[in-house]
Every structure is written in C-alpha cells, then in structure tokens.
Structure 1
Amino acid sequence: MTTLSRRLEGKVALITGASSGIGESIAKLFAEHGAKIIIADIQDELGQAVCDDISPSNSIYVHCDVTNEEDVKNAIDTTITAYGKLDIMLNNAGITGPNKALITDNEKSDFERVLNVDVTASEESKYISGQNICIDGGAGIVNPAITMFKNQKHI
C-alpha cells in the first residue's frame, strides 16, 4: 500500500462490534490504512483473534458490552491509556432479535433488547466518547445506520 493510501496513519480507532462481520472488516481495513485499532466486543475469543490477525502491536481487544456504561468508559480509558488519544469512535455493535417462527411469538423484551443495543447504546457511546475524542486533525464519531438494518430480510 502506498503512503498516499494510508489515510488513517497515526489515527486511533475504537470500534464496537468488531469481533466479526462488518466490524471485523472495518477494523482490518482501518488497520491497513495505518490506524491503531481497539476492538470492543463481548465475543472475547473472536475479538482477540481479530487483534492477532491485524497485529498485536497495532491493536488491542477490550471486553465491552455497549449497553453497560462502565464497559464503554473502560474501553475509552483503555484506548487513551494505550495510545494517548481517541480519534475515531465507530459504534458498530448491533444485534437482531430472536428468529421466531411467528411474529406473535415475539415479546416486548426481545424488541427492547435490540433497541438498547442497536440504537440507545450507540447514542450513549457518542456522548461518552465525545468528552475524550481528539478534535485536532479530523476526528469523528460514526454511528452507522447499517447496524439497525443489517439482518433485515427485505433489504
């Protein structure tokens, strides 16, 4: 990769939900472009494996349930302790509800869990990380809408 294409050189990115799927691909792409990566997820073994694939010297795994404010704060603190800053907060974590045969089998708690992970946690993470994000030189907080729609059959 040429120097010109390493667009994230020197940046530090905290990515939730990066142990698999879209988040894993984003983490690997950001690393290819020169970013230091913090993978924040609840899938510990998968998250550590992604770090090992990227490079242990350029990535860190931290256990983080995005619905737990203390876990989110810990992930941000771990990022700043390790790399001295946070440039990019990418709130990618998302889930789908249980795959039940009939819509009438769904319970309100199923919907509330999806809403808490896919929407509420992303918004809360945005406010928590906003206090620590480095605004010098193009930092940002990203809440991809794809987490809310990634497993919808009609899309």
Structure 2
Amino acid sequence: MIATCYVTAHMAQCSDPGRAPRTWLAVVLINVGRCSVVSLASQVTLDFALYTPPRSTEMIRAMQVVVSGESRRAAVAGFRFVGHCGYSTASSSQRLAGKVAVITGGASGIGKAMAAEFVRNGAKVVLADVQDDLGRAAAAELGPNAACYACCDVTDEAQVVAAVDLVVARHGKLDIMLNNVGIVGSLARPRLSALDLADFDAVMAINARGVLAGVKHAARVMAPRRSGSIICMASVAGVLGSVTPHPYSVSKAAALGVVRAVAGEMARSGVRVNAISPNYIPTPLVMRILEQWYLKASAEEHRRIVEGDINEMEGAVLEPDDIARVALYLASDEAKYVNGHNLVVDSRFSVGKAPNMPSAPAL
C-alpha cells in the first residue's frame, strides 16, 4: 500500500556548552520501510511517498535527527494523513537564499530558465542583456523584488563594468556571475578556405571576449570579499569541434580556456570559476540551425535529430531547465570545492557518440 503522509516534526531545543539555547538546523533522515527522505530545517514539514508496512507509525516515531555530525533523538509532534498515491516536495530548497546573481543573456532561452531557477531558490538576479523588451518582461515575470533588467552589451567592457557596479550599488555585493550570453553566427558550414573572418570576429567578441570581460569584473568585486561563484557557458562544441560552424566551436573552446586559465588564480581569493557544456537543446534557435543544415527534412525530423540522433538518452530530452539545475548546483555552496571544472551535460555524446552531423565539403 502506498500513501502520502504529511509530517510535522518540531525539533527539540538544544544548546552548546557556553552558548545560548537555540533551535538546531538539522538534517532529518526518515527511514520507513523502503523509503528514505532527507530535508533541511529546524521545523520540518515534509511531503513524501511512504511505504506503509504494519506498525509504520511506530517506526516513524523512532526517526533520527542528525545535528552537526551527532545523532540526536527528536520527538514527532504529530501526524496528519492527507491523501494517497503520490510524491511531492513541500517547498523550494532555497539553496541560494541571500545570494545575488548577474546572468548575461538572461532575457530569454537558457538564461531565462536559469534566472527563474535562481529566484525559486532565493537569489536576487540581474538580467543583463540587449533585448530590452524581453529583458524587462522577464524581470517583471520573476517579480520586482527578485529581479531587474540591465541593458548590457558584453562586447563593450564599459557596459559590463556598469552592470556589475549596478548590482553592487543595489545589493551591496555580487555572489554569482553567470556568463551565459552567446551567439552562433553564420549558420553556413563552409570549407576552412572560405571561412568568413568577420563572422568569426563577431562570434568571438561575444562568446569569448565577452565571457572574459564578465569574469574579469566579477572577480574585481568578489575577490575582496573572498567569496563568489563564476560560471561560464561553454558547449560540447568546444570539447569536440566539428559539430557546429567553426567560429562557434572555437569560441566555446576559448570559454573553456578562460575557466582553466583563471581558476587557479581565483581560488587563492576564495572565488570558484567553472564551466557548463551542454549538448544540443531543442530551442527555437537550434531548430532554426537544423533547418539550414537539413534542408529536406521536416520539422518532425529535425526534432528527432536533436532528441534521438544527437541526444541518445532513452526516455529523456535535454531541456533548458536541466541546464538551470546544473547552474544552480555550481552557484550554490554545495559546490564549494568545485573549481576549474567543465561540467558536461551531454549523455556521453562527447565521449563516444559518432556525431550524425553534416560536414563541410572535402577540400
């Protein structure tokens, strides 16, 4: 029998030697039958799927509370059964409570998804973008107390400086810098001899130089506080090459190079610098790219290419929210010892998948 159980557990008042009594912030481990639930609270409210063998309530009453590495007993104040057959979480974990973030390219797409995830977890966010209408709308959607929009062209260092300084002036600090903005450039896949260097320069200005500018000025305000997380959006294209137009691949490899170049220096100031490398995500931009590459394929076939040929994880499709949760981890204190790392999110694409991608004509 499966039932959903609503449990409220009031933690016993504890005190440290020489300190005033206080309510412990505890990790509560509830083990009932085959079910294990973890929550972080001083007054714990949990919704969980509960396997209910005989005498299950007696087992719940023996729940253990782990406090600062020690096991302590806690009394369960009461039980209310509210339904059957299900699993849910009571509230957001607030993993970024009190933190302040800048997200470049935060007005739309993956950037907007990351902003929403950060806000759900308690952060204040500044959406730095050049899409004024979308940026203001996204900030309004997230809530005026949680988000604001700042016009910022990352190819202009002065605008990056202004965006960072705006955050510090408004919130007094910057905890998270997410260098997300990027462009693909020309969708053509010409031979190397026909490569348009003007297009290359435009892509590099945003995807590489813009990332470095964001890292530079985030570090400027984070280092004195000896704390901060800088995240740079890269791509499997920067790991593999040959799966996107050359300028984009080179620019994402450069973003990874920025992370590797500065992570050691910033570690000495308590600041972490990491990268995220996603595989193809079926966003409108990606679908437009595939329309150019596979001219004879239908929209349904384009989606199959992304969800099946490129992403091969059975039963799962990579979505913006997946990348948002990866960014949440790197931004949070849970990743306090993760530095100089490229977190690849590609279902093994970069370590053994034979890319089914169109190639440039032979030389």
Following TM superposition, by how much is the alpha carbon of 1:25 offset from its aligned partner in structure 2, in angstroms? 0.3
What secondary structure is seen at the aligned counterpart in 2 of 1:141?
A: strand
Distance across 2 between alignment mates of 1:106 and 1:53: 41
Q: Which residue of 1 aligns with 2:190?
A: 103
Q: Which residue of 1 aligns with 2:153?
A: 65
Deviations 1:21-64 (A, max 9, x none): 11010000000000000000000100111101100111110000
Greater shift after overlay, 143-152 or 118-127?
Answer: 143-152
Please tell me the residue identity of whatever aligns with 1:55.
G
Deviations 1:72-106 (A, max 9, x none): 00100110111111000000010011234x62665
Distance across 1 between alignment mates of 2:183 and 2:158: 20
* Greater gyration radius: 2
Please tell me the residue identity of whatever aligns with 1:133.
M
The answer on 1:38 being equivalent to 2:100 is: no
Aligned residue runs from structure 1 range 73-112, under 5 A: 73-100=161-188, 103=190, 106-112=195-201
Please tell me the residue identity of whatever aligns with 1:117.
I
Once superposed, what is the RMSD of the aligned Cα atoms? 2.4
Distance across 2 between alignment mates of 1:61 and 1:73: 15
The answer on 1:129 being equivalent to 2:218 is: yes
Distance across 2 between alignment mates of 1:71 and 1:29: 25
**Contact conserved, 2:125 with 2:147, CA < 8 A, in 1?**
yes
Q: Which residue of 2 aligns with 1:29?
A: 117
Q: Which residue of 2 aligns with 1:145?
A: 234
Greater shift after overlay, 117-126 or 142-151?
Answer: 142-151
Greater shift after overlay, 116-125 or 31-40?
Answer: 116-125
Following TM superposition, by how much is the alpha carbon of 1:107 offset from its aligned partner in structure 2, in angstroms? 1.6
Q: Structure 1 residue aligned with 2:202, among 100, 113, 125?
A: 113
Identity %: 35
Please tell me the residue identity of whatever aligns with 2:141.
D
Deviations 1:101-141 (A, max 9, x none): x6266521101111111112101220121011277685211
Aligned residue runs from structure 1 range 47-62, under 5 A: 47-62=135-150
Please tell me the residue identity of whatever aligns with 1:46.
L
More strand by share: 2
Distance across 2 between alignment mates of 1:52 and 1:134: 31
Q: Which residue of 1 aligns with 2:72?
A: none
What secondary structure is seen at the aligned counterpart in 2 of 1:143?
A: strand
In the alignment, structure 2 segments of 5+ residues that lack a partner are 1-89, 236-250, 253-278, 281-285, 291-354, 358-363
Distance across 1 between alignment mates of 2:115 and 2:229: 15
Q: Which residue of 2 aligns with 1:8?
A: 96
Higher relative contact order (CA 8 A, sep 6+): 1
What secondary structure is seen at the aligned counterpart in 1 of 2:221?
A: coil
More helix by share: 1
Structure 1 residues 135 and 31: CA distance shift in structure 2, 3 A:
farther
Distance across 1 between alignment mates of 2:151 and 2:224: 26
Distance across 1 between alignment mates of 2:98 and 2:149: 19
Distance across 1 between alignment mates of 2:163 and 2:225: 21
Structure 1 residues 34 and 145: CA distance shift in structure 2, 3 A:
same
